[in-house]
């Protein structure tokens, strides 16, 4: 499976936008880019995913670079509830369909 690289931690002020980066330079043409987050003392939850085009949903936006070697998860207005570890994951359409988590980015939201 292709590897992703994320910063270990980031901080944001409450009600400010947050841009969480992810590098995946070895991504293949059949890999979907998924984002999950894990709130304290909870199981991970799905945030968003995409293949080539930018995606928006009620939780966040996903901006995918034209060469697909990087992506950015955008939280438009951070709230205290958004404090979590955010994971960027590649899921291969043609492979074993595994779901491997890296170390993620710990987001701290400052009131």
- Contact flag: residue 39 with another protein (CB under 8 A): no
CB of residue 13 vs another protein: minimum separation in angstroms? 25
Residues 5-34 touching another protein, rule: CB under 8 A, are: 30-32, 34
DSSP single-letter state for residue 5: B
Give the largest Cα separation in the chain, rounded: 44
Of 8, 42, 53, 111, which one interacts with another protein (CB under 8 A)? 42
- Contact flag: residue 49 with another protein (CB under 8 A): yes
Residue 92 and residue 31 in contact, taking contact as beta carbons nearer than 8 Å: yes
């Amino acid at each position: 499976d292709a590897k992703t690289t994320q910063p270990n931690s980031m901080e944001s002020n409450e009600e400010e936008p947050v841009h969480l980066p992810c590098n995946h330079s070895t991504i293949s043409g059949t890999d979907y880019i998924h984002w999950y987050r894990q709130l304290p003392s909870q199981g991970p939850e799905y945030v968003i995913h995409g293949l080539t085009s930018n995606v928006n949903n009620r939780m966040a936006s996903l901006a995918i670079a034209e060469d697909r070697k990087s992506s950015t998860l955008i939280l438009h207005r951070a709230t205290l509830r958004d404090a979590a570890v955010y994971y960027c994951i590649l899921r291969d359409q043609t492979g074993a369909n595994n779901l491997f988590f890296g170390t993620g980015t710990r987001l701290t939201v400052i009131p």
